Amino acid sequence: MKLYSLGIAALVCALLGPGGQTPSLAQSEDLRRTPVVRAVEQASPAVVNIQASKVYERDVNPFGGFFGGDDFFSPFFKDIFPSQKRQYEAKSLGSGVIIDGKKGLVLTNAHVITGAANIRVRLLDGRRFEAELAGSDPDFDLALLKLDIQEQLPEVSRGHSNDLLIGEPIIAIGNPFGFRHTVTTGVISALDRAVETKSGTYTGFIQTDAAINPGNSGGPLLNIYGHLIGINTAIYAKAQGIGFAIPIDKAERVIQELMDFGRVKPVWLGLTGQDVDQRIARYLGLNDLGGMLIAEIFPGTPADTAGLQQGDVLLSLEGVQIKDKGHYLQLIRNMTRGQRIEAAVWRDSEHRTFAVTPEAFSRERVIDLAQKRWGFTFREGRDFLEVSQVHSGSPADKLGLRRGDRIYQIAGLRMKAEHDFLEAFMRARMLKSVMMYVARGDQGYHVRLRM
């Protein structure tokens, strides 16, 4: 009973001011203005609502109001009536954050503005701006917008994500379902999460339990000081309280490349590999078929400098288990220049780790490797690539490619310019065969280039 009385007394003293006086209104306000409130007040002016609109056309059935709208009759009417099309506008909502108020630069997710014809941004104070795309990279799901401004705008203070603590309180601000500037709070649940999607594998995510919903994408994840530590990106649809954000340190590297080049330059480690089959696993003493056997190390590349060797089995990158060479290529696409990567390998019946720093996969390197591996050169045509030379005895020569053949597609990617070829080779450089669509004269063929 005595302890209980002392507790009540302490609470009364805390609620009363010095000398037992009731706290003033100003003092009450100070108690209510918690670190979370101050962080929100500091960052909110820099958080924006993004509306992206896309215009598309669709055939209109002139008899849609009859026959129950059944499309069964459409083929008959198409022969009688000319095709009619109507334009429709689809709108998507998302969030973003101003990272440079003087230049009017807004950071958001790439999927928020994908395919948009018009992008509009609205600030907390009601001001609206037209935005143009300064750069975007879907492999990192980040985009940089440039606002048409005449004055300085508020900007968020950027923090760091290399010293985050699991359990650390965080704040998310966004526009879920169109409800502008909605604040949710939580903690950091985990770090360095890898998430697999239909588009590929994303690595290094911050996992949080703060409520994140559709429309939060692209909004800021803040620490208790109101500093930007991540960009809210995704939720786990099968559960509640599981959201993911791109760490600001990773985003900073992407931002610089978007500003310099409009996209993130692809990187590589300087090696090739092959899948681990049962025979290889038994020979090397592996218990499963995961990983990638390193088949070749190119001299002077990051893999060579780090000490990786031909015959090593690459088991994981940044803690993400490698399934096969295709999965390895997906992981590399989600990494940047200058990023220190921990690579785990199997060598001489034991696990070893190496620190590797990827370098840019330059145009010259890609062209050189493509000539050696695929065996042809090309020049740009009009919405296609034209074969300019075929090397004797190469895979292209064995396939029967000739000078003047037109290439419209490689590995499922449309070939309109040189950068399309570079992308196709980087994605398919370790495959044993690649599908191509090639035209000669008036005839087009689906062919398989075998290495």
Name, in order, each residue with C-beta under 8 angstroms of 324's C-beta and a sequence gap of 6 or more: 275, 276, 290, 292
Determine the distance from the C-alpha atom of residue 67 to the mean position of all C-alpha atoms in its chain, rounded to a whole number. Answer: 46
List of residues 6+ apart from 227 with CB closer than 8 A: 156, 157, 158, 159
217 is catalytic: yes
| Cα-based distances in Å from 287 to 146, 276, 347 | 52, 11, 14
Is 192 noted as a catalytic residue in this protein? no
Helix axes 325-333, 418-428, angle to 10 degrees: 130
The answer to whether 356 and 433 have CB atoms below 8 angstroms apart is no
Which of 139, 141, 405, 420 is an active site residue? Answer: 141
**C-alpha 285: how far from its chain's center?**
36
Q: Given 44, 161, 217, 316, which residue is catalytic?
A: 217
Q: For residues 116 and 121, give the distance between their C-alpha atoms in angstroms, rounded to a whole number.
A: 13
The strand pairing partners of 97, in sequence order, are 47, 107
- Other beta carbons less than 10 A from residue 370's beta carbon: 19
Cα-trace Rg, the chain = 28
The residues near 216 (Cβ < 8 Å, ≥ 6 apart) are 95, 172, 174, 175, 176, 182, 232, 243
User: Which of the following is catalytic: 111, 136, 249, 316?
Assistant: 111
Decide if 28 is catalytic: no
Q: How far apart are CA 329 and CA 273, in angstroms?
A: 10
CA distance 438 to 448: 10
- Which positions are annotated as active-site residues? 111, 141, 217
